Amino acid sequence: MMEVIERVLISKGELDRQAEELGRRISEDYAGKELVIIGVLKGGFIFLADLARKITIPVDLDFMSVSSYGDSSKSSGVVKIIKDVDTNIGGKHVLIVEDIIDTGLTLNHLVELLKTRGPLSVKICAALDKPSKRKANVQVDYKGIEIPDEFVVGYGLDYAGKYRNIPEVCILKKEIYMK
Ligand code: PRP
Ligand code: MN
Ligand code: MG
C-alpha cells in the first residue's frame, strides 16, 4: 500500500501526542457539562477513536456521515448528509470532531445545521488544518496540525475511498490522483 505514498507528513507519534493534548483540554473545558461529541464519518473515525480515549469526562458520542468530495480529489461544494445523529442535542454542548478542515464548507454547513436544533454551544475539533484552500470562515476551537496544500491520505483520510487505514498522515503520489 505504501507504494502510492510520496512521503510521511505527520508521524503516528505526533498524532498521538496531539490527541492526548486536545483530549486533556476538552476534558478540562467541559468538566461538569453535558457534552455530545459528534464524529464526522467517514474521515473522522480514526482521530475520534484516538481522541475519545484521551477524554476523561463522561460524554455522549454520536456520528454523522457527510460527503462533499465523493471519489474526486476536489470538493464538490455540496455537502450531502448521508446519516444524521440520533441524539437530541437540545440544551447540550456539542463538539464536532473532524479529520481535516480544508475549504471549510463541510464544517460550516454542519455548524449551521446543528445550531438550528437548540444546543447550548457548537464547537469544532479538527486533527488537521489546510488553511490555503479556505472558502468559508469557520472558527476551529480545537485546532490540530497545520498542513501545506498537498493531497494527503491516511489517519482516516481517503483518496477514492482508499488509504484511510494508513496510520500516519501521508502525501499521496501525484501520479495516483492525476491519472
Ligand atoms: C473530507 C474530510 C472532511 C472534509 C473537509 O470528507 O473528511 O470531512 O472533506 O473538506 P472541506 O473543509 O473542504 O469541506 P469527504 O467529503 O471526503 O468524506 P469522507 O470523510 O467520507 O471521506
Ligand atoms: Mn469527511
Ligand atoms: Mg473523503
**pLDDT tens string 35-55:** 999 999 999 999 999 999 999
In a domain, 39, yes or no: yes
Q: In whole angstroms, give the CA distance from residue 45 to residue 59.
A: 16
In a domain, 179, yes or no: no
Is 102 labeled as catalytic in the residue annotation? yes
Instruction: Find, among 34, 9, 57, the residue nearest to 155 by Cα.
Output: 9
CATH number for the domain that contains residue 72:
3.40.50.2020
In a domain, 133, yes or no: yes
Q: Over pLDDT 70: what percentage of the chain?
A: 99
Mean pLDDT of all residues in the chain? 95
Ion ligand 2: residues, CB within 5 A, are: 43
In a domain, 85, yes or no: yes
**CB-based pocket (< 6 A), ligand 1:** 40, 42-43, 67-69, 75, 98-106, 158
**Number of folded domains that form the chain:** 1
Predicted local confidence at residue 76, as pLDDT: 72
Q: In whole angstroms, give the CA distance from residue 26 to residue 56.
A: 9
Tell me the best of 68, 113, 151 to mutate to test the pocket of ligand 1, counting ligand atoms within 8 Å of each CB and taking the most: 68
From the CB of residue 18, how many other CB atoms can be counted at a distance below 10 Å?
Answer: 20
In a domain, 131, yes or no: yes
Predicted local confidence at residue 72, as pLDDT: 72
Q: Could you give the ipTM of this predicted complex?
A: 0.98
- Ligand nearest the Cα atom of residue 80: 1
Domain of residue 41 covers 13-149
- Residue 172 grid coordinates: 499521496
In a domain, 160, yes or no: no
